[in-house]
Amino acid sequence: MNEPVQKFVIETLLFLAGLLVTVGLPWLVLRRLRSGKPSTTPQPILDDGAGGKVIPLLASFSGLRGLPWIGLASNNLNPRLVITPDGISYRVLGLQACRWADIAQVDVRTLGATVNIGFGFRGSPITFDANVGSIILAARTLALLPTDVVLTSRARSVLTEEL
């Protein structure tokens, strides 16, 4: 094969590979997300023995306020969310605690089989999102929160659907 033909073949193959990645991969991801439905049989909420309730999570994420589906860090190996009378303790990279007064609002977002409860913190652009995997579990978790915690309209609708 002469050099111009070889160059044309290589450029064509690179173009097709780029097209496959930029069109095919997002299509597969969207197809997978649409095929999933939130679970209707959630795992039970457990008592930690110290007055807190351990919420079973599929994953936990740390993100930026205003970008709910973009995570800065994630944990699907040992995520943790414990609701206590004083606030929450959670784990994304390390175990952290936050008092109820420091939580600006709580939101619920769903997409496919993903059901995320999002905690926004006062004075911080960082959020904590917990994937509970079930609308029922999200409603039960929201019911454990004190009444003075601000819920978004989506979170209030999830809470009233379960009640």
The yes-or-no verdict on residue 120 having pLDDT over 90 is yes
pLDDT at position 96 is 93
The yes-or-no verdict on residue 163 having pLDDT over 60 is no
The yes-or-no verdict on residue 119 having pLDDT over 90 is yes
Per-residue pLDDT tens digits for 41-61? 678 888 888 889 999 999 999
For residue 76, name the pLDDT band (cuts at 50, 70, 90): confident
126-131 and 67-75 as β-strands: parallel, antiparallel, unpaired?
unpaired
pLDDT top residue among 20 and 156: 156
Per-residue pLDDT tens digits for 3-36? 888 889 899 999 988 887 887 777 777 766 665 5
The yes-or-no verdict on residue 37 having pLDDT over 80 is no
Q: How far is residue 141's CA from residue 55's CA, in Å, rounded to a whole number?
A: 7
Q: How far is residue 97's CA from residue 90's CA, in Å, rounded to a whole number?
A: 6
Alpha-carbon separation of residue 110 from 5, 13, 58, 88 (angstroms) = 50, 38, 14, 22
Tokens of residue 45, six digits: 């909420």
CATH topology of domain 46-162: PH-domain like (2.30.29)
Neighbours of 87 (CB within 10 A): 19
